[in-house]
Structure 1
Amino acid sequence: MTHPAAAPTRPEAPRDAAAPLLDVRHLSLDFTSPRGRIHALRDISMTVPRGRIVGVVGESGSGKSTLAYAVIRLLAENARVVGGEIVMDGRDLLTLSPREMRGIRGRRMSMIFQDPMTSLNRVMSIGQQMIDIQYRDPISKAEKRKRAVEALRRVGIPDPEDRVNGYPHQFSGGMRQRICIAMAMMVEPALLLADEPTTALDATTEVQIIGLLERLQAEIGCSILFVSHHLGTVAELCHDVVVLYAGEVVEQGSVRDIFHNPGHPYTQALLDCDPGRIKEKTRRLPTIPGVVPSLVGDQVPTGCIFKTRCPHAFDRCDHEVPPSYAVVSGEVAPDAPHTARCHLRDAAEERRP
């Protein structure tokens, strides 16, 4: 697997900046709790261009999975979208009725969930589950079964004609994840959401699953929003990266830009914590000092969200929320390909004596 320190080998896909498949605009989302509102996502803006794979990275609790579930609108009952838009194919998904949203899921959009051990119904055969998800298609059950077999063959399940009759407990974790991928890709969606699909798998199986996703994406030409905490996986698979910290986007850009020229101290800290970058033997793995700030009620810090853990914080970080700066020019440029929300990127700061 490509190491983050090495040059990403993923070939570039065409970028159509004028018409992204998915455009998340200033999305803010809260969860209600006995302690008060938890401001899980705040002013999230990012795009998924057509035909490209966008990785979303960050520590646990940064809002990665919440963002994916907000896009597909499978949020918990205590979730409340308090602002923003999620635009796909020119329509704001947040304004659609439940029936209209069901018409998009399983056709234009599908999802691979994090845990293959619990994503499948344990008391139904794999074939029956794959037939059931084709309920919209006016074809015979035999044709639907044939499609299921071909989908299993496509993801490398051996003897798919026989294994389609099997039950989830008869498959390994890696095989179950292949089945979940087959079900998600069977409709050839325009957008695939992958919520840490390799977390529960061993390293060898992880490499196989990443290779499978890469091949299927190239065949179908879909876009993928890939949620992961594994930087090496992101470097191997993705074209672009969005870095989340405590519910905010702190940096975004191409894989090459992010891994070779990180513009935010948090991104640099994540890269420094990668064990593969350790050049000398040590008994202690690198960590990011401090803790993630509370996002409950009015406890969200003012100014820069990363200031309490940042070794470069200064007075301006305490009271002023940093805008998105173009990493190269240092000018405010929210739509630039590589941006970071850090006052250190401000060209005016660099010119100060």
Structure 2
Amino acid sequence: MSAASDPLLDVRGLSLDFGSPRGRIHALRNVSLEVGAGRVVGIVGESGCGKSTLAYSIIGLLAANAEVVGGEIVFSGRNLIGLPDSEMRALRGREMSMIFQDPMTALNPVQTIGTQMLAIQYRDAVPTREKRKRAVEMLVKVGIPDPESRLKAYPHQFSGGMRQRICIAMALLVNPSLLIADEPTTALDATLEVQIVELLKDLQKDMGCSILFVSHHLGTVAELCDDVVVMYAGEVVERGSVRDIFHTPSHPYTEALLECDPGRIREKTRELPTIPGDVPNLIDVPDGCIFRSRCPKAFDRCVREAPAPRRVSGGHEASCHLLDELAEAAP
């Protein structure tokens, strides 16, 4: 899955808890993934599976009740876990940046777009006119018409799609090595979603940055990403290339997710496909396979033993006991 050289981002066995009145919520458990230089990696899964929590862990914007209890987040050769706040702030907005989920609330409503785009360049010791020129050029790249005059406008004077373009422009204005996009198309309609995905593809090719793309929309991930990480209830259950995940899914949860994609429905129906059952309680994580209570293929071993990641082919891995069973049954 990773390039031949060391990956730009290497998350190794990351575990994270949230404190709560009912007990510790084990939100992430032994999560590992890699983002190679110039690669686009998608993270998919149901709502609440830990996708956004993982993204916020990487960029260091966690809530006060969050605690990393294990693992490493290695970015450009540096472990970010335990890094002083001053050093983490130096990385954010320069070497890594983020597009947030809701463009309607991501921008400061009482400041003009120009003020905010100049402010994000505060580290650069260049004249204000140069910063303004950069802002105009970036607005041109993301398709904002008449950028000179739009710098004087306030966020409420833009549509949702335009605001998301501005958020993308601000995130890329510092030319980061890693761009984290946390479901950047969720609040947009289908037409704008296509436009934003195409925009990200073009900008990624032009600038060469790596992208960690969080989404629940499988079609968007298939269109944009090189590699995919599938998460369920705080764990990575499968990872591989887009072709691996969409053509040869090897975990029952991945198969179930793909079956729920409306784009795969071939006949008219009044009921959309769903995955039966409920997500397990992450305060008291059950033994064995985390997906076993909802898995139609579960057997005795799934109750007793948590599956370890098993290589399917190349960079394709899945955590499922069925892979062991198939290997043992093979001649």
TM-score range, shorter chain: over 0.9
Could you say what secondary structure the match of 2:298 adopts?
A: coil
2:167 maps to which residue? Answer: 180
Q: Partners of 1:352 and 1:238 in 2: how far apart?
A: 33
Alignment of 1:253-272 (within 5 A): 253-272=240-259
Q: Which of 293, 302, 327 is 2:287 aligned to?
A: 302
**Pairwise CA distance, 1:352:** 8.8
- Percent identity of paired positions between Structure 1 and Structure 2: 70
Distance 1:157 1:210 in 2: 16
Q: Is the 8 A contact 2:2 2:35 kept in 1?
A: no
Residue 316 of structure 1 pairs with residue 294 of structure 2:
no
Instruction: Show the counterpart of 2:222.
Output: 235
What are the superposed Cα offsets for residues 282-326 of structure 1, whole Å, 9 maximum, x if unpaired? 111100000100001xx2010100000000000000011101112
In the alignment, is residue 223 of structure 1 matched against residue 210 of structure 2?
A: yes
Instruction: Give the unaligned 5+ runs of structure 1.
Output: 1-13, 329-335
Contact 2:14 2:73 in 1 (8 A): yes
Equivalent position amino acid for 1:249 in 2:
V
Q: State the match for 1:340 in structure 2.
A: 318
CA distance, structure 2, for counterparts of residue 237 and residue 35 of structure 1: 39
Does structure 1 residue 167 correspond to structure 2 residue 145?
no
1:229 alignment partner, SS class? coil
Question: What amino acid is aligned across from residue 310 of structure 1 in structure 2?
Answer: C
1:351 equivalent in alignment to 2:319: no
CA contact (8 A) 2:43 2:231 kept: yes
- Tell me which residue corresponds to 1:151: 138
TM-score, length of structure 1 as denominator length: 0.92
Pick from 181, 205, 212 the counterpart of residue 192 of structure 2: 205
**Number of equivalent positions:** 331
1:143 & 1:62 partners in 2: Cα distance? Answer: 43
2:42 pairs with 1:55: yes
Separation (CA, whole Å) in 1 of partners of 2:324 and 2:311 = 9
| Counterpart AA for 2:170 | M
Alpha-carbon deviation of 1:201? 0.3
Alpha carbons 1:344, 1:350 under 8 Å: kept: no
The one-letter amino acid paired with 1:302 is D
Q: What CA distance in whole angstroms lies between the structure 1 residues aligned with 2:264 and 2:141?
A: 36
Given the superposition, is the C-alpha separation of residues 340 and 135 from structure 1 closer, same or farther in structure 2, using an over 3 Å criterion? Answer: same
1:70-89 alignment, distance < 5 Å: 70-89=57-76
* Residue 306 of structure 2 is aligned to residue 326 of structure 1: no
Measured in 2, the distance between the counterparts of 1:261 and 1:348 equals 15
Instruction: State the distance in 2 between where 1:128 and 1:216 align.
Output: 23
Local SS of the residue matching 2:272: coil
Cα shift readout 1:125-174 (whole Å, capped 9, x = no counterpart): 00000001111111111211111111111100000011111000000000
Give the alignment's Cα RMSD to 1 decimal.
1.4
| 2:260 is equivalent to residue 273 of structure 1 | yes
2:177 equivalent to 1:190: yes
Query: For 1:303 and 1:23, how far apart are their aligned partners in 2?
Result: 26
Instruction: Give the TM-score normalised by the residue count of structure 2.
Output: 0.98
Secondary structure (helix, strand or coil) at the match of 2:297 reads coil
Instruction: Name the structure 1 match of 2:15.
Output: 28
Per-residue CA distance 1:27-77 (angstroms, 9 max, x = gap): 000000001000000000110011100000000000000000000000000
Check 1:78–1:15 CA distance in 2 against 1; reply closer, same or farther (3 A cut).
closer
SS at the partner of 1:27? strand
- Map Cα deviations across residues 240-283 of structure 1 (whole Å, 9 max, x no partner): 00000000000000000100000000000000001111111111
- Decide which of 235, 260, 264 is 1:248's aligned counterpart: 235
Secondary structure class of the residue paired with 2:263: helix
Q: Per-residue CA shift, 1:78-133, capped at 9, x if unaligned?
A: 00000000001110011311000111111110000000000000000000000011
CA distance in 2, matches of 1:26, 1:170: 44
Distance 2:77 2:286 in 1: 35
Matching residue's letter, 2:296:
P
Distance 1:15 1:340, change over 3 A: closer
The answer for the alignment partner of 1:9 in structure 2 is none
Q: 2:97–2:178: 8 Å Cα contact kept in structure 1?
A: yes
Q: Aligned to 1:94, which of 67, 78, 81?
A: 81
Output the CA distance in 2 between the equivalents of 1:22 and 1:30. Answer: 21
CA distance in 1, matches of 2:72, 2:129: 41
The 1-side partners of 2:329 and 2:134 are apart by: 62
| Maintained 8 Å contact 2:2/2:34 | no
In 2, Cα distance between equivalents of 1:350 and 1:275: 35
Gaps in structure 2 of 5+ consecutive residues:
none
